[in-house]
Every structure is written in structure tokens, then in C-alpha cells.
Amino acid sequence: MDQDRDDQTRGELDAVVQRAKRGNSAAFEELRERFAGRLQFGTAGLRAELGWGPLRMNRVVVSQAAAGLARFLIDTGRQRSVVIGYDGRVNSDVFARDSAEVMRGLGLDVTLLPSALPTPVLAFAVRHLGVGAGVMVTASHNPPRDNGYKVYLGGDDDGSQIVPPVDGQIADAIEAVAASPLSDLPRATDFAVAGPDLAEAYVAATAAIVPAPRLPVDAQPSVVYTAMHGVGWQTARAVFAAAGFAEPAVVTEQIEPDGAFPTVSFPNPEEPGAMDLAIARGVAVGADLVIANDPDADRLALAIPDGSGSYRRLSGNEVGWLLGWRAASDAVAAGRSGVLAASIVSSPALSRVAERHGLGYRDTLTGFKWVSRVPDLLFGYEEALGYLVDPEVVRDKDGISAALVLLDLATSLAASGSSIAGQLDAFAAEFGAFASGQVATRVDDLARIGTIMQALRATPPTTLGPLTVLRSTDYAAGVDGFPPSDILRYDLSGDARVIIRPSGTEPKVKVYIDTVAETPAAAQALVEALADAVRPRVS
């Protein structure tokens, strides 16, 4: 309480302490739960619900994290400079300013972004400014009451997110800082605030990744855009205009940043119902494309007309196939070599694209911190709506640049009499009819996740649905150059595959199913049969 600068969280904690002093058992349990440990800093940084105590996101935890990161940069001889960005969530701006004051007080050169901006702008700024590290205060697409703290590194890391062992080193530095009162840390307010030229540089660099549109503005495919109550719109709008594309119709109710996320219970475009307003707007204006960024605009979702008066949302894999095919075709046309990459739980279709084009291919662990580090990368994606379309601009997933490339693709297809739907059909004809699906089990008790994974290890399946398990692979001990990971993979007859792992950001066990068949309908039917077979094993 003494360290907390936030009147609300300090007051809430004091009220619980007072109830506990009066012998209230529920208050004791609440204190025990909130103070049972510390919020763990990992490769995803910090992410948790807002609230008091060391197991929640609050000004004490964030200030300690900022000091720990600063100590890490100093102690490891890295550049003593950092750029800090933030999104539109509750307290993001407060956490960003606290971080700036703490890091500046410890002697770092600090640049704070001037307003709530997309995560890709912060990732761009790390490289553009040549700083030692970047911090983005965001919980991305998590529930409304969450917030988080994402860290990027400059120098040899080239603006990518942190990976082991750096996460552990930063965590150790945070633990050391937390052993002393925050009042021992100097704070300073003479940090720099970036001017508009930084965001303008991102807009210019991003707009330049596509050629001039093949159709005039009035003949381009019509588009509906939603920011999902996040910070994507102003930057996306500027990028689209700079590249020569028509301004989309917008979902007015979701276009401005709002940390309460009033129209969605879960601001993730993957979640059922999250794109309902956008699709309704698409129906109303007869849009050819409906696109959505998540709240910090590092992810992208796409829906296209389904032929029956509504829209079909494409999976992350389908969008990844199309963008990867385009990237491969462009590379070959330009005489470039390079590598396509996708996370291990993404569809194997991209590897077939790479093979047919004579390009390299790499699987990575889940998370863009791994995808972005692939050498000679041309394009990378993960099925959770993340796409890296130009590694020279941003070394992270970027929902705005991905949206721009999709607009360019849709416009080029329209100019030749085709569409995104037609391109999906062409992909199946060229590379095979791939399909993918997921099964997810949400748990209330995190220990349940370990129980599920252990049961699968103890009794591996020999068949799943109509298919035989040809090979079971446990990544717990490290496989094929991957570090030890809690992942189980089953390669099945018929070139099908099932992968099971705990979610990295939510209390879930996730199952990823991939198939390929003669027709899209046959591939999808096989996905559904495998989902039915695996669901009881993870419930």
C-alpha cells in the first residue's frame, strides 16, 4: 500500500486489510490469493487483470518491471535507451508514463510515444530510433479488465520481442528491484515525447510496401473496417490513403479507443460475435471485404461475402496462405531468395507454397518472437491472426500492413476479374485443399491443464477418428532444434496432423487440427471428425 501511487487500488487494498483485521475470512483468502507470489515476467512480458497486489497489473508492479528492465539494459551493457508506447486500455497511459519516469530516473534516454498508438508503431520505432529496447503497454486482444507489458530489444535483436534467456534475466532484475521500496528509485520527468514525424515515418514505410493500386479509387473493392474499440483506425486510415486506396466505411460504434469495450464481451476478432457489428455494416453497404484489427492493431481478421447475403470469416490460416502465396510469387518474380515461416500450430500449407516456389521454409514455436527471428525471412504468420508481411519495416506481426497487402491483393484480383474467394479456390487447385480447425478447453483451475497434458502423455492415442496415429512427438525434452516446450504432436495417416498445447495467454488447452484432401468439403469433414475424436481427451 505504501508503494502504490494509485488512489483506487491503494484504497481497495486498504479496505480488504481492514476487513481482515476484523477477522473476515473472505478478506484473508483474498489477501492470500493476491500475495501468494508475483506476476511472472516471461517472453510475453506481463499480462494480467488490473487490480491491487503483486499478482495483478498495477502501478507498483509496472514500476518494478520498468526498473528491472532498465537494470537489465545497464547491467548487460546494452544501449541505455528505450521507446515506450501504449494503447487505449484502462491505465495504459498511466503505466507508460510511470515507466518513462522510472527509466529516465535510472539514467536511460527515454522516448514516450505522444498518444495511444498501435503496437506495430512501437515495434517500428525500436528500429527506426535505434534504441536498446521498446516497451508496449497493451493486453492486445485480452478481456477488457486486463492489461500487459510487452518488451522488444534493439541491437542484434533487430526490434524483435524478447526470447529466453533474456526473459529470465529481466525477471531476475525485477525480483531484485522488488526487494526494496519503490521510494528508493529515483524518478525523472525530463524524458522526450516523440513528435508526429515518428508515426508519419511508419505510415510512409508501410504504404511503400505495395505498388500503386491497379484500379482507381471508385473502382476498387469496397471495404468495411473496425478497430474493435482499439487504436488502429487513425494509423490504418493514413496508411490506406498514403498507398492510394479508398477510405473504408467504418463501424462507428467501435472506431474510437474505449477501454471499456462496450460492444464486445471479448475484444478478439477470433471470438464468436466479435465481428457481428462489422458484418452487419458490411451487409448494409454491400462491402466486398470486412476487415478488423484487434485493439492494439497487431492482428487482422478478414470476412468475405458468402453468397447468401452474409459473410464468412476467413481463418488465420486461410489469410496466411493467401499472403504467403503472394509473398512467394513476388519474391520469385523479383529474383529474390528467402524463407517463409509459420508457427508450428499453423497450417502446413505454407510449406507446400515454399517448396513449389523453390524457397526455404521454417516452422517455429508459437509466438511472433520466434517467427520474426527466422533468418532471411520473406513472410511469416501464425494462425492466431498474426502476419508479418515486410520484415524490413516491422519485426513483429502487424495488422495494419497485413490489411494493406490484402487490399492490394483484392484490388489486383478485381482488376483481373477475380476475388479473394476466387483466389482461395485457385489456391486449393494449385496446392491442395487444406482445412484447419481448433478445439479449446477453458479451465477454472490452472492445475487442470497439467492434468490433461499428463494424461495424454501417459496414454498416447493410437487412432483419432478415422485416422491412424503414425507418429507421436513430445516436445517436452526439445525436438528438431526446438527448446523444451509443452507441446504434443500427432502425425496421422492421410497427411493430417493434430497438435495440443496449453495457451500462452489464456487458461486453456488448445488443439490444432490440420488436414488436406481432394476437395475443401472433404478436408473440412475430416477436421470435424478429428475434433469429435480429440474433444473428450482434453475436456
Percent of the chain with pLDDT over 70: 100
Average pLDDT for residues 99-127, to the nearest whole number? 98
Could you tell me whether strands 289-293 and 249-250 are parallel, antiparallel, or unpaired per DSSP bridges? unpaired
Mean per-residue pLDDT for 359-374? Answer: 94
Of residues 208, 192, 64, the one with CA closest to residue 131: 192
Query: Tens digit of pLDDT for each residue in 151-192?
Result: 999 999 999 999 999 999 999 999 999 999 999 999 999 999
Edge-to-edge order in the sheet of strand 377-382:
360-364, 339-343, 377-382, 386-388
Contacts of 90 (CB under 8 A, 6+ apart): 50, 144, 145, 147, 259, 260
**β-bridge partners, 339:** 360, 377
Cross-strand bridge partners of residue 123? none
Q: Is the peptide bond before 213 cis (omega within 30 degrees of 0)?
A: no
pLDDT at 76: 96
Strands 223-226, 289-293: parallel, antiparallel or unpaired by DSSP?
A: parallel
Task: Walk me through the domains of the chain, giving residue ranges and CATH numbers.
Answer: 40-194 (3.40.120.10), 214-431 (3.40.120.10), 433-538 (3.30.310.50)
Confidence band, pLDDT 50/70/90 cuts, at residue 467: very high
Listing from the earlier edge strand, what are the strands of the sheet with 496-502? 433-442, 508-517, 496-502, 488-492, 467-474, 463-464
Percent of the chain with pLDDT over 90: 94
pLDDT computed for residue 221 by the predictor:
98
Please state, in angstroms and as integers, the Cα–Cα distance from residue 158 to each residue in 153, 336, 387, 391, 393, following that order. 7, 21, 18, 10, 11
Q: Which residue has the cell 494449385?
A: 430
> How many whole angstroms separate alpha carbon 84 and alpha carbon 230?
18
Please report, as a single letter, which amino acid is at residue 170.
I
User: Mean pLDDT of all residues in the chain?
Assistant: 96
Sign of CA dihedral 306, 311, 312, 316: positive
Least confident of 8-17, 453-462, 475-484: 475-484
The set of cell numbers assigned to 368 is: 511472433
Instruction: Write the pLDDT tens digit of every residue in 272-285.
Output: 899 999 999 999 99
DSSP states along 350-384: HHHHHHHTT-EEEEE-SSHHHHTT-TTEEEEEETT
Question: 3-class secondary structure for 398-467?
Answer: CHHHHHHHHHHHHHHHHHCCCCHHHHHHHHHHHHCEEEEEEEEEECCCCHHHHHHHHHHHHCCCCEECCE
State the Cα–Cα distance between residues 86 and 147, nearest whole angstrom. 10
pLDDT(43) > 90: no
> Does pTM surpass 0.85?
yes
Size of the chain, expressed as the number of residues it contains = 539
Q: How confident is the model at residue 102 (pLDDT cuts 50, 70, 90)?
A: very high
Looking at residues 390-396, what average pLDDT do you find? 95
Q: Which helix (H) or strand (E) holds 245?
A: none
Q: Is 416 a catalytic residue?
A: no
pLDDT digits (tens, 9 = 90+) for 312-340: 999 999 999 999 999 999 999 999 999 99
User: Which pLDDT belongs to residue 28?
Assistant: 96
Mean pLDDT, residues 371-375 taken together: 96
Using one digit for the tens of pLDDT, what is the confidence trace for 131-158? 999 999 999 999 999 999 999 999 999 9
What is the pLDDT at residue 481? Answer: 80
Maximum CA pair distance of the chain?
75
From the candidates 63, 92, 99, 140, which is the catalytic residue? 140
* pLDDT above 90: residue 504: no
Spatial distance between the Cα atoms of 275 and 27, rounded to a whole number of angstroms? 39
Confidence band for 486, pLDDT divided at 50, 70 and 90: very high
Are 515 and 492 in contact by the 8 Å Cβ rule? The answer is: no
Residues 6+ positions from 156 with CB-CB distance below 8 Å: none
CB-count exposure of residue 242 (10 Å: 0-12, 13-18, 19+): middle
Q: Taking residues 513-534, report their average pLDDT.
A: 95
- Buried-state track 42-70, b at ≥16 Cβ within 10 A, e below 16: ebbbbbbbbbbbebbbbbbbbbbbbbbbb
Neighbour tally for 459: CB within 10 Å: 9
Cα radius of gyration (the chain)? 23
Give the residue-averaged pLDDT of 239-250. Answer: 98
Residue pointed to by grid coordinates 497485413? 402
Burial of 384-418, coded b for 16+ CB within 10 Å and e otherwise, reads: bbbbbbbbebbbbbbbbbbbbbbbbbbbbbbeeee
- What pLDDT does residue 477 have? 84
Query: What are 299's three cell numbers?
Result: 492482428
Given this model, what pLDDT does residue 484 score?
A: 87
| Of 353, 351, 374, the residue nearest 364 (C-alpha) | 374
Instruction: Give pLDDT, residue 189.
Output: 98
Residue-level pLDDT at 332: 97
